[in-house]
């Protein structure tokens, strides 16, 4: 994301308090599940143990009803679970985008810092030249700073000043 664009707020990650409560079975299914449990432990629907039960065994119908109720629960909560998963994926994508922005910003800041360090080094070198008696011209300082317009203006002023004769010569030209 570019820094000139407005940032979108991060979506809040889904934080469900837990799975939704299992919807209650219908009274008809509840009666048959209770009757099957009274007859003994319920095998898993479709297992070899379940298939070995007689067709009129209440445990066989109860195991099938438990599987049907679980399916009903899964179907009822599928949209909510998928929406929560999608929200988490969107949140992770937004965090990754922000991390990329931070990394790009850090690289840009380091590049700016390097340019400023180079500028400071050039100015320091110009100051050292001045201390040694080799004072840089305005033109040279503008070139060191990377300001071509100012350098050209300084050259123009230097040419203009060079065209003016020195002061003693001007004094001699004055009529007495």
Residue 130: inside a domain: yes
Sign of CA dihedral 40, 45, 50, 55: positive
The predicted pLDDT at position 1 comes to 44
Q: The domain containing residue 107 runs over which residues?
A: 27-136
Residue 6: inside a domain: no
The dihedrals phi and psi of 115, each to the nearest 5 degrees, come to: -65, -40
Residue 5: inside a domain: no
What is the C-alpha to C-alpha distance for residues 111 and 34, in angstroms, rounded to an integer?
73
Residue 13: inside a domain: no
Domain count, the chain: 1
Do residues 118 and 16 lie in contact, with contact meaning Cβ atoms separated by under 8 Å?
A: no
The predicted pLDDT at position 77 comes to 82
State the residue for tokens 């570019």.
2
Residue 175: inside a domain: no
Residue 34: inside a domain: yes
Tens of pLDDT, residue by residue, the chain (176 residues): 444 455 555 555 555 555 555 567 788 888 999 999 999 999 999 999 999 999 899 999 999 999 988 888 888 788 888 888 999 999 999 999 999 988 998 899 899 888 888 887 777 776 665 555 567 788 888 988 899 999 999 888 888 877 766 666 555 565 55
- Rounded to the nearest angstrom, the gap between the alpha carbon of residue 172 and the centroid of all alpha carbons in its chain is 75
80, two tokens: 């909510």
Q: Record the pTM.
A: 0.39
The predicted pLDDT at position 41 comes to 93
Residue 165: inside a domain: no
Residue 55: inside a domain: yes
| Inter-residue long-range contacts of 120-125, CB under 8 Å, 24+ positions, other chains counted | none
Ranges of H-type helices in 5-57: 27-39, 48-52
């Amino acid at each position: 994301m570019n820094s000139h664009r407005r940032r979108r707020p991060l979506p809040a990650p889904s934080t469900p308090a837990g799975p939704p409560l299992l919807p209650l079975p219908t009274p008809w299914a509840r009666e048959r599940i209770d009757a099957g449990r009274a007859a003994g432990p319920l095998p898993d629907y479709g297992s070899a143990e379940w298939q070995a039960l007689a067709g009129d065994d209440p445990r066989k119908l109860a195991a099938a009803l438990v599987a049907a109720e679980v399916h009903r629960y899964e179907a009822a909560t599928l949209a909510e679970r998928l929406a929560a998963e999608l929200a988490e994926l969107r949140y992770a994508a937004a965090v990754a985008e922000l991390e990329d922005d931070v990394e790009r910003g850090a690289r840009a800041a380091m590049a700016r810092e390097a340019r400023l360090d180079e500028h400071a080094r050039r100015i320091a070198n110009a100051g050292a030249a001045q201390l040694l008696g080799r004072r840089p011209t305005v033109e040279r300082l503008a070139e060191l700073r990377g300001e071509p317009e100012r350098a050209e203006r300084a050259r123009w002023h230097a040419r203009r000043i060079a065209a003016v004769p020195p002061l003693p010569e001007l004094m001699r030209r004055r009529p007495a």
